[in-house]
Amino acid sequence: MNLDTINNSKDYFYQRKFEKVLSFFDFEKNELSHSKNQKVSILLYRHYFSNALGLITKLIKKIFLYFFQRIYFFFLLFTIQSLKKSDDRLIVSLTSQPSRIKNCWITILSILNQDFQNYKIILVLSSLEVSPQNLPWTIGILQKKGLEILWIKENLKSYKKLIPTRIKFPLSRIVTFDDDVVYEKWRLKILYEESIKTPTAIIGYRGKKLKRSQNKVIYNYLSWDEEATTKTFSKDIFFDWVWRYFISSK
């Protein structure tokens, strides 16, 4: 064997070694890339599983809360004390419509359960929308508890809660409520106390400040992003329907 053959053999040997080293690093690189992909897949799986579990938990809570509230209100419906006979100085007025008449008893029950005495609850209904024969049985029970129904022939929509009641009780203080909200027990008391302090004012619990242009033109309601405060001018206040307002008799 001559020297060239030996040298070529050595070159071939080191070349093979070098290729093995390179192939090893390529293997490690592929393994690392595969490992990263596995970790990303696991993280994504955990993320989606966590979100799904969170949604299921929220759904279960809502279902449980719904049935718990229903059981509570049905219990309250049969056990709550009737309104004591009162004069017409304070009237709580609300209305309803066919799509909500079956569930408005819950709102009426929360109004009946106020930390206050000496008031009437008037439910204004239009004979064009609701038939007296088709009233829910829960309304019948509430009538025995003190609820009064004022029937009108016209359909004044949301104004039914105020105009007919004002016509029938012109000297009364009137507070209006919506038929799809459960109200706190202190709501009526706070409104009444504030109305005594300012007997000629319209009292509201929460409202928006009207947004006007430089030319005093009122912008669309959806653009009113500022809450009204005690420092807001009366002419710039618009009371939110849900939070109710108190109308003085004067």
pLDDT, one tens digit per residue, over 129-172 is 999 999 999 999 999 999 999 999 999 988 899 999 999 998 88
Would you say 95 and 176 are in contact if contact means Cβ atoms under 8 Å apart?
Answer: no
Would you say 224 and 210 are in contact if contact means Cβ atoms under 8 Å apart?
Answer: yes
Average pLDDT over residues 175-195: 90
pLDDT at 42 over 90: no
Would you say 133 and 104 are in contact if contact means Cβ atoms under 8 Å apart?
Answer: no
Integer Cα distance of 174 and 247 in angstroms = 5
Q: What is the pLDDT of residue 35?
A: 53
What are the distances in angstroms from CA 199 to CA 113, 193, 247? Answer: 25, 10, 9
pLDDT at 84 over 80: yes
H or E stretch covering 126: strand 120-126
Integer Cα distance of 177 and 113 in angstroms = 14
Q: What is the pLDDT of residue 24?
A: 46
Lowest mean pLDDT among 13-27, 32-46, 108-122, 200-214: 13-27
H or E stretch covering 208: strand 207-209
pTM above 0.75, yes or no: no
Could you tell me whether strands 245-247 and 203-204 are parallel, antiparallel, or unpaired per DSSP bridges? antiparallel
User: DSSP 3-state assignment of 61?
Assistant: helix
Residue 133 identity: Q
Residue 15 or 159, more confident:
159
Confidence of residue 197 (pLDDT cuts 50, 70, 90): confident
Q: What is the pLDDT of residue 62?
A: 87
